[in-house]
Amino acid sequence: MDSLSSQFVMGTLSFLSTLFVFAIGLVVLVVAVLFILDVSQTGDAVRRNYPVLGRFRYLFSMLGEFFRQYFFAMDREEMPFNRAEREWVDRAAKNKDNTVAFGSSKSLTPPGTAIFVNCPFPTLSEDAAELQPLDIGPFCREPFQAPSLFNISGMSYGALSTPAVRALSNGARMAGCWLNTGEGGLSPHHLEGGCDIVFQIGTAKYGVRDENGEMSDEKLKEVAAHPQVRMFELKMSQGAKPGKGGILPGIKVTEEIAAIRGIPAGKDSISPNRHPEIDNAAEMLDVIGRIRDVTGKPVGFKAVVGAFGWLETMCKEIHARGIESAPDFITIDSGDGGTGAAPMPLMDNVGLPVKESLPLVVDILQKYGLRERIRVIASGKLITPSEVAWALAAGADFVTSARGFMFSLGCIQALKCNRNTCPTGITTHNKRLQRGLNPESKAVRVAGYCTNMIHEVEVIAHSCGVRRPRHLRRMHVRIVQDNGRSVSMDELYPCPEILAEYRTASEVKAAEVADA
């Protein structure tokens, strides 16, 4: 028996040693092949000069994307969103305790930092006023009373997965906020939750286009017939890609998405860089008026601001036509806004950030007596309460967010939105990856993020001594300057007086709003 055991052990050791030698030989063979390939190729200098070893550079570079945020980056270092911001959204979405201990990790000294001016006698909870709906589109057949000041910005079905859109739709209904469809058309998944919907019309007219790719009145009527569709937004430009249309890779253009958009399946879907029929402010007002006449619902436009003289031209044209011809709202996107895919030069360097463009647009509307007629929506990288409160103080009526709600769905900022390989199932049509995103549980997180956002914006407002967030004004915020001292935002951006020739129109409008 001992002899048999000894033979078995010896045989096993012999087999393992043979296997080890074979493995070593295989490794040596692979290294030799890689060595020959690297030395003989001429396309990569690093691999040619350092064969085999040079390949590790690319491996470590790829792995760095995943490990940087966990092991190396500090709480406030990452871009486009840092760990502190992402974790606040995550805790808010899960309705977890969002307090922090010991002290803030945010530096208050960099130029541009906004500091809210707390009141020595803050608003008591029992004195706080409830958030009131705000009317949009007073001259429409079907005006919209928007209940929430914080809403979901445009993200197209196609760029987002089916379970992601379903979760957003149901979560928006729970929170009482609106959901913007993005330029990809209206899908059954948008309608599923029963929330208020803003239908966005991009340059390709997805969802409302005829066989020639032009806007169809019949298709507009079909979309407007859904009672959940409350407003229409004409997308002039987007913050992450101003001057360039949308890009949806062919791998994401499924049969369903193609049918919703009215395009061929499996082919790249590229929108024009502007609406071909709109070449100036007057033509933009023509299109807005056409959509409003056909649908009977409020219509506005979305734009990232760079040049702004055209806004003054638009305001003059509105007064020439009549105040009812004005857009019902303007969505101001930020030059640091997000997208699923865009060229880096546009994403990095074109378009004003919302911190500069929002006060500028509000002041132009005020100057021409149109501030009460046109609602202002701020969009672009506003995902925490301080940023939303800043936007309200700067003059916005509403704030919308896309990436904030993506974080509430579980986004980990893997930066794979354009590759159909999103590990959280949010921006992929790979069924295996989508399995990880449960629409029912994620809808609760979407609602939690929205309601907790509004609550904490109210906390900031009450600390400043006002009863509700929309009572925040520029005087409630100070902006840190290069010398380390802060200056009141109403000094940096003083609110202009209404031009004398437009005061009458403004007063008439104010009286109409008061009567309504």
Residue 85: per-residue pLDDT: 80
- The CA–CA distances, whole Å, from 190 to 101, 168, 213, 331, 515 equal 40, 8, 23, 21, 35
- CA 368 – CA 364 distance, rounded (Å): 6
Residue 310: per-residue pLDDT: 94
State pTM to two decimals: 0.84
Which one-letter DSSP state was computed for residue 221?
H
If you write DSSP's letter for every residue of 355-410 in order, what string do you get?
A: HHHHHHHHHHHHHTT-TTTSEEEEESS--SHHHHHHHHHHT-SEEEESHHHHHHHT
**Rg from Cα positions in the chain:** 27
Please identify every stretch of the chain with a pLDDT value under 70, giving residue numbers as ranges. Answer: 1-4, 60-79, 81, 239-248, 337-349, 504-516
Give the DSSP H/E element, type plus range, for residue 463: helix 439-463
Instruction: Give me the phi and psi of 76, to 5 degrees please.
Output: -115, 20
The answer to whether 348 touches 478, Cβ cutoff 8 Å, is no
Angle at 238 between CA 232 and CA 241, to 5 degrees: 150
Q: Which amino acid is at 55?
A: R
Which one-letter DSSP state was computed for residue 102?
S
- CA 491 – CA 258 distance, rounded (Å): 51
The pLDDT tens digits of the residues spanning 348-358 come to 567 788 999 99
The pLDDT tens digits of the residues spanning 315-372 come to 999 999 999 999 999 999 987 766 655 566 665 567 788 999 999 999 999 999 999 9
Beta bridge partner(s), residue 16: none
Which one-letter DSSP state was computed for residue 50?
S
Residue 515: per-residue pLDDT: 54
Residue 324: per-residue pLDDT: 95
Q: What string of H, E and C letters represents the secondary structure of 254-301?
A: CHHHHHHHCCCCCCCEECCCCCCCCCCHHHHHHHHHHHHHHHCCCEEE
- CA 72 – CA 50 distance, rounded (Å): 27
Single out the residue of 378, 492, 486, 491 nearest to residue 114, CA to CA: 486
Q: How many CB atoms lie within 10 A of CB 5?
A: 9
Q: In sequence order, what are the residues at sequence separation of 6 or more whose Cβ sits closer than 8 angstroms to the Cβ of residue 448?
A: 92, 93, 94, 95, 408
Instruction: Give me the phi and psi of 144, to 5 degrees please.
Output: -115, 125
- CA 175 – CA 455 distance, rounded (Å): 12
- Strands (DSSP E) along 164-257, which ranges? 178-180, 196-201, 229-235, 247-248
Can you say whether residue 103 is alpha, beta or left, with left for phi > 0 and alpha for psi between -120 and 50 degrees? left
Residue 169: per-residue pLDDT: 97
Please write down the long-range contacts of 256-262, taking CB distance under 8 Å and 24 or more positions apart.
256/187, 257/157, 257/158, 257/184, 260/157, 260/158, 260/184, 260/185, 260/186, 260/187, 260/206, 260/207, 261/158, 261/184, 261/185, 261/204, 261/206, 261/207, 262/185, 262/206, 262/207, 262/209
Residue for token pair 């020959």: 36
CA–chain centroid gap for 37, Å, is: 44
Residue 79: per-residue pLDDT: 65
Could you give the strand order of the β-sheet that contains 477-480, starting from the edge strand earlier in sequence?
A: 114-116, 477-480, 486-488
Which one-letter DSSP state was computed for residue 308?
-
